[in-house]
Amino acid sequence: MLEIDRDADDAAIRRAYRKLAKTAHPDAGGDTEQFGKVTASYELLKDPVRRKVYDDTGYDPQLADARDLKGVMILETLVNEVILDEREPGSFDPVAALRRKLTDDILKSRFHILELERHRTRVRQHLDRIARRPETDVLGSMLRARAQSISDAIRGAEAQIETIEQAYGMLEGYSYELEPPTLVAVKAKSKAAPEAEPEPVSAGPETEAAE
């Protein structure tokens, strides 16, 4: 929006903003919406924290939906794992790997919720079967607190699933071009082949004479 380089410093950002503001400002005959965009861009770039997040993710942490930011954080962790993968680029599909990992995480979270629900049901059943209680119902209070803690954990797991699904949706529209299997095999073979040792140099006549 400000037409500056990615590594522009604060002074360059200010100059670019002032230049555009002169013509974009409504008092100078500019468009109100356009001026608002220019100002928003300037506010983002002059904040080092917001700028760093935007450079890394494409999202403004102050204006973006909280669900998008959480999804971006999940993807950022998974992308780091892809970067550290030692396999040759083109020999595997990192986008498909990201989708598989997210799907696995959703299934794990759903299974965790089922386990928590079973625990909560057992706690409530124990609570219902306590027939006589003293005035200070310590045991009942503990069981109710435990049931509440489990309910909170269930809500947390459900929120985590929503976040993972948000991250999965961000991968829509991506595809990855794989190398043909034969080419991958050739590259792997050439990489695994040991380097040929240099042949020993035989002693020539001059060397023999010197000996």
Pick 115 or 9 by higher pLDDT. Answer: 115
Q: Where are the domains of the chain?
A: 1-64, 65-180
Kindly indicate whether the domain formed by 1-64 is annotated with CATH number 3.40.50.2300.
no
Polymer length in residues for the chain? 211
* Cβ pair 83, 98 in contact under 8 A: no
Confidence category of residue 161, pLDDT binned at 50, 70, 90 = very high
For residue 116, the tally of other CB atoms under 10 A from its CB is: 19
pLDDT tops 90 at residue 201: no
> Residue 82 is which amino acid?
V
Which pLDDT band, with edges at 50, 70 and 90, does 59 fall under?
low
pLDDT per residue over 99-135, tens digit each? 999 999 999 999 999 999 999 999 999 999 988 888 8
Phi and psi angles of residue 2, each rounded to the nearest 5 degrees, phi first: -90, -5
d(CA 45, CA 178): 37
**Mean pLDDT of the chain, nearest integer:** 80
| Burial category of 111 from C-beta neighbours within 10 Å (exposed 0-12, middle 13-18, buried 19 and up) | exposed
Q: What are the DSSP calls for 85-151, one per residue?
A: --SPTTSS-HHHHHHHHHHHHHHHHHHHHHHHHHHHHHHHHHHHT-----SS-HHHHHHHHHHHHHH
pLDDT of residue 42: 74
Residue 96 scores a pLDDT above 80: yes
Q: How confident is the model at residue 3 (pLDDT cuts 50, 70, 90)?
A: low
Lowest pLDDT segment from 32-36, 100-104, 134-138, 175-179: 32-36
Is 42 within 8 Å of 30 (Cβ atoms)? no
pLDDT exceeds cutoff 60 at 209: no
132, 139, 148 from 145: Cα distances, Å: 19, 10, 5
- b/e string for 157-185 if b means 16 or more Cβ within 10 A? beebbebbebbbeeeeeeeeeeeeeeebe
